[in-house]
Each structure stands twice: as structure tokens, then as C-alpha cells.
Amino acid sequence: MPTFTLNGTPIELIPQERGAFDWLAGQVYRRMHEGVPIPGMLTMIADAGVKTQNLPTTDPRIQAALWTLWQMGIASSRVEGEGDARQVKWEKGEHPDLDSRPAMEHFNEEGIREGRALAAGLVIVHGRRIRVNGVEMPVKVNNIELIRAQSAELEKRRTDPKQDPSLPAAAYVAELLSQGSDQNDLRLRAALELAADLGIRSLVIDGAARQMRIEGFNEQAALAAAYFQGAPVEHFQAAINRASTLNRMAQELAKQAGAATPNAAGRPQGKAPAQAPGTAAAGPAAAAPFKRRRR
């Protein structure tokens, strides 16, 4: 088994059950909006567990944090200073990291036990972007209260329960942008996160005609979405298959639109997360309308 060095002490890493990593995901995921680097958060969790809670280094919570750091390519980390002056420092190792295997190989039973699934999921979520009319917009993780409020707004726009939820999510983003919202608008930031969680990678919005079209979905990050939503391992392949199908449909519709669509050059060049399995999939619309609502 590999060894991780925490505060100068080598600790053997022991494979863990998914519950330990699910606990850790709950500690880290929603704190990402605070802007603290993920390695720093993971190290602080492990450090607090050992020093404050007097947990043994074999405790599943400590092991989960150290495994996740290891899979990110980090070999050692330490906390320096006291109180508000504390700082986290870490060093890369020479061992294989997440890039040494295809993404799909992280999201299996072995990948979960060794922290690769959580590490890969966090890295994917941290790097998400949505392209709107050819312009890349960063997707940030927001606090849970804001997400709940904007989820309620999204549901108001979902009039057909059989409709794929990615469509009203895209329409809500288009609606906010047509009102002049920018990245300083917390509603838009939350709407972009919800859209990314549902698999949207690229949008074309015609504000004058009040029309929008989803141009691309992300197959790779569909795995991350399924993982964080608690899907069992056997559902991961269904998640990536669904994202791939929706992506092909969206790209075919984009080709059909051709030069008739404003900013058609802004077609997706990358990938982004997709909706987990088990929901209705009506497919992306060729030109779905959106409303301008008064606030």
C-alpha cells in the first residue's frame, strides 16, 4: 500500500468503503465556494481529525482525506502556524496521479476504495465551464441555501414532468442573461451550477428572438455527477451513455441550425458534466423559447 506523509509522519493508506468518501465529499463539496484550494481543505480535515479529535490515522475519515490527496498527485502535506495564522503546504509526489488512467477507470469499485473517484469528481467539478454564444463562463460551486432557492425557480419553469430538466435549466440561464445578469449576480452563478449538474456544456442564445438551444453535453463529467448524487456503481455506465446520447442529439441539432443560428461558431470544443440516470430524457430542443420575467 502507498504511504502519505502528514505533518512529517508517514501514514500507510488502507482501502476504504464508499461511506468514508461520501462523508468527506459532504465536508468538501459545498465549501468549494469559499475559494480554499482543495488540497488545503483535505489537509485541514485530516489535521483536525488527528490533533483535535484524537482520531487514529487508521480512522476511515482520515484515510479518505489522505487517499484523495494521494490520488491528486500529492505525496505530503502539513499545517503550519496556529489559529487564524495557519497555513497548509503540500508537495507533489512522483507516483501516478489521476491523469495516468482514463476517467472511466476512476469510477469503479476499486477507484472508490482508493479515493480516485472522489478525487476525480472534485477536479472535474472544480474545472467546469459552460460556453454561451462562444464565450466560456466558469461554473462555481455555491452555498446550499442559494442552490435550493434557485432550484425552486428552475422548477417553476418546468411545466412538463416528462421534459428533460436540462431544458428548463438552460432556459433559466438564458432568461437571466437576457435580463443583463453577469457573474456578479448570485442567481446566475447558481443557475449555471444547476445547468452544469444537469450536463449542459454549451448554449446558443438569441435574446432578440427569445430562443435558445443546447449545443453540447459532457460525457466525462457525467460520471462525477452520478457519483456525487450517490448513484450505485452499476449506474455509472448508464450516466455516461445518457450524456453521450444527449450530446450527439445536441450536436446534430446544431448542424441542422447551421448558419441560421447567431454565434454558431461557438460550438462545443470540450466536455462537461451530465445528468445522472433515472430521469426523463426528452432530448435537447432545436430552438426552445425562454421568457423574460420581471423581478
pLDDT at position 287 is: 58
pLDDT at position 286 is: 52
- 276 and 138 inside one domain: yes
Backbone region of residue 142 per phi and psi (left: phi > 0; alpha: psi in -120 to 50; beta: other values): beta
Last residue of a domain, one of 98, 124, 150: 124
The count of structural domains within the chain is 2
Residue 126 to residues 35, 70, 222, 281, Cα–Cα distance (Å): 10, 17, 14, 26
Q: How far apart are CA 82 and CA 84, in angstroms?
A: 6
Mean pLDDT taken over the chain: 85
Residues spanned by the domain of 104: 3-124
Going by the DSSP 8-state scheme, the letter that residue 275 receives in this structure is P
Last residue of a domain, one of 84, 104, 124: 124
- 83 and 138 inside one domain: no
More confident residue, 78 or 262: 78
Instruction: Give the distance from CA 277 to its chain's centroid.
Output: 16
In this predicted structure, which of 59-63, 77-81, 237-241 has the lowest mean pLDDT?
237-241
More confident residue, 163 or 263: 163
In a domain, 294, yes or no: no
More confident residue, 245 or 135: 135
In our burial notation (b when 16+ CB lie closer than 10 A, e otherwise), range 110-147 reads ebbbbbbbbbbbbbbbeebbbbbbeeebebbbbeeeeb
pLDDT at position 54 is: 97
Last residue of a domain, one of 61, 96, 124: 124
Q: How does residue 55 score in pLDDT terms, banded at 50, 70 and 90?
A: very high
Going by the DSSP 8-state scheme, the letter that residue 53 receives in this structure is S
